[in-house]
Amino acid sequence: MSTDTPQRRSRFRWIPVRSGRAKVVAGLTALVVPLAAMVGLAAPASAATSATATYTKKSDWGSGFEGQWTVKNTGTTALSSWTIEWDFPSGTTAGSAWDATLTSSGGHYTAKNLSWNGSVAPGASISFGFNGTGSGSPTGCKLNGASCDGGSVPGDNAPSAPGTPTTSDVTNTSVKLSWSAATDDKGVKNYDVLRDGAKIATVTGTTYTNTGLTAGTDYSYAVQARDTADQTGPVSGAVSVRTTGGGGEQPGGDKVNLGYFTNWGVYGRNYHVKNLVTSGSAAKITHINYAFGNVQNGKCTIGDSYADYEKAYTADQSVDGVADTWDQPLRGNFNQLRKLKAKYPHIKILWSFGGWTWSGGFGQAVQNPAAFAQSCYDLVEDPRWADVFDGIDLDWEYPNACGLTCDTSGPAALKTMADAMRAKFGTKNLVTAAITADGSNGGKIDAADYGGASQSFDWYNVMTYDFFGAWAAKGPTAPHSPLTPYTGIPQAGFSSSEAIAKLKAKGVPAKKLLLGIGFYGRGWTGVTQSAPGGTATGAAPGTYEAGNEDYKVLKATCPSNGTIAGTAYAHCGTNWWSYDTPATIGTKMTWAKNQGLGGAFFWEFSGDTTNGELVNAIKTGLQ
């Protein structure tokens, strides 16, 4: 195999076509802002009612978009009907609508409730949607003839969102919060401080120290501004923090046990966040990488909006046994991950961008690294799901080398990107990267400044798997994840130990290196020789991809009958497979500890058994 052989070929993705109102769209960053914070509003014709109207651009696929209005009753009596009016600029139009009657006159639009959704109880909300074209935003919003921000003073806009808080002076029982000020046309009076979604204090400045906390406990904070008329604006992004002490060690001591969770797994694989609970894996891992977000046009963008935040979960599918409602602001995997963190507060979640299929956009993105970092930060810290994520993972396959496409950004590009991401995300967020394990002379590790970039990354997920596979259709058969070199290995430098040694030699600290484990096997067919090194006729049949099969399947259909270089292999009929077992994972974890590595990671959860035996093997081996 040449040094350009791509790694992690199991990361091909697919998204099925869906019907109904769930749209299959190219994932652009969704925009959710209360209208009063986004545009200057026209003065209402009458005093403001005790209700607000908020506009959301739920998705944008270039040639069109899906818009949504949400009416919320902020008063103490029921709202019997509602009418929303707004203006779109020239070039932006609203078309078909659902859950409302929509009419227009030029660029002026009027939406009225239907017979069944006009009544809105105190504290409740109702939404309707429409399809549109153009890039403009609504202006001049009125709700029942009054300001859409629900202000008590005609023409008085609500304040903007404050900056996402930062944390400092963290102790066993306290944490200091600081944030940038909000703006308002009449002046900001004070700020509400929210902890885990509940208001705990109102302060006049832009700092607050929360005391009386529990040691070793995770908390999430956000802030919300109030103006001189006591109107509240949108909530800021959220920041997560863990108090010190308290014996809050993560499973496996101080070692990382990280697994990838794929957004497309909710389709054909029928694998959901709840499976992390039922398998027992959630109690044994420390981190999750949610894969993948896309990299397009120099920006981080949504990968699959339906799986990420639109899919509705029934009670039996949900982590906490509570079904999603049709009008809740966040659904899909993001909401399920939020529920998972509530049950297992030790888990940190990173949003991973790129991967094998979506790495082609990194080259353009790093041409303006600050703008790229800003786009990623804005998406990860979107107020709808900021509390879900604890950082970002960048899966560029591969900087200044060839993967699905070839990159020519130069050896410094990785460090440039890493430095920009760290500058934007700060020290309170995790910034990590999945990287090549090609340790051959002049190979992919030699192509980029992994040593320099490691100064800005918390750790590297070293993809020490997919070294060999049936892309070399005739073989020779070889373990796809060898721990060490062995006599007859098809390519020098293609082993875990050689990759780790080269990265250390380039100045990457051992504690910033995680050893990669594949929860799947690579296989050939037409093989007569049981030992590695045999010839083949092509890829062995696989459930989702020829030459690839989950461990949970291989364990039963083709049990291992030998080991080489620290990993297992199996010869069943004319099929030959290599994969890791609990026993070989144990060997690899012992080696990782002896090397002083920061821990291990794996691709990906759905390949494990229903009782999570591979996750358990990593946890046990790292202890």
pLDDT digits (tens, 9 = 90+) for 131-162: 889 888 888 788 887 778 764 444 567 889 89
Give the pLDDT band (50/70/90) at residue 21: very low
Confidence of residue 252 (pLDDT cuts 50, 70, 90): very low
Categorize the per-residue pLDDT at 251 as very low, low, confident or very high, splitting at 50, 70 and 90: very low
How many residues are present in the chain? 623
Amino acid at residue number 339: K
- Token readout for 167 is 């944390």
Kindly indicate the confidence band of residue 42, based on its pLDDT and cuts at 50, 70 and 90.
very low
Burial class (CB in 10 A: 0-12, 13-18, 19+), 581: buried
Q: What angle do CA 276, 279, 282 make, to 5 degrees?
A: 40
Which is it for strands 520-525 and 548-550: parallel, antiparallel or unpaired? antiparallel
Residues of the chain with CATH 2.60.40.290: 35-147
444 or 147, greater pLDDT: 444
pLDDT, mean of residues 537-543: 97
Identify the CA nearest to 430 among candidates 589, 239, 253, 276.
Answer: 239
- Close Cβ partners of 282 (under 8 Å, ≥ 6 residues apart): 276, 340, 343, 344, 347
Residue whose C-alpha is closest to residue 139's, from 131, 130, 147: 147
Q: State residue 44's pLDDT score.
A: 31
Could you please report the per-residue DSSP string of 265-302? GGSTT---HHHHHHTS-TTT-SEEEEEEEEEETTEEE-
35-147 in CATH: which number?
A: 2.60.40.290
Is 214's pLDDT higher than 70? Answer: yes
- Give catalytic status of residue 397 as yes or no: yes
Share of the chain above pLDDT 90, in %: 67
Task: Report how far Cα 364 is from the mean position of its chain's Cα atoms.
Answer: 21
E-strand spans in 64-206? 65-73, 83-87, 93-98, 101-105, 108-112, 125-133, 139-143, 146-147, 166-168, 175-178, 188-195, 198-203
- What's the pLDDT score for residue 45? 30
Cis peptide before 398 (omega within 30 of 0): yes
DSSP 228-244: TT--B-PPPPPEEEE-S
Q: What is the pLDDT at residue 245?
A: 61
Q: Is the pLDDT of residue 2 over 90?
A: no
Residues of the chain with CATH 3.20.20.80: 255-518+581-622
Q: 385 near 378, Cβ under 8 Å?
A: no
Superfamily of domain 166-233: Immunoglobulins (2.60.40.10)
Least reliable range by pLDDT among 245-254, 483-492, 554-563, 611-620: 245-254
- CATH 2.60.40.10 residue ranges in the chain? 166-233
- Evaluate if residue 124 carries a pLDDT over 80: yes
Average per-residue pLDDT for the chain:
87
Per-residue pLDDT tens for 357-409? 999 999 999 999 999 999 999 999 999 999 999 999 999 999 999 999 999 99
Give the architecture-level CATH label for domain 255-518+581-622: Alpha-Beta Barrel (3.20)
Of the listed 66, 310, 381, 397, which one is catalytic?
397
**Structure confidence at residue 38 as a pLDDT band (50, 70, 90):** very low
Residues 482-507: what's their mean pLDDT? 95
Query: Which of 91-100, 160-169, 177-186, 386-395 holds the top average pLDDT?
Result: 386-395
Q: What is the pTM of this model?
A: 0.64
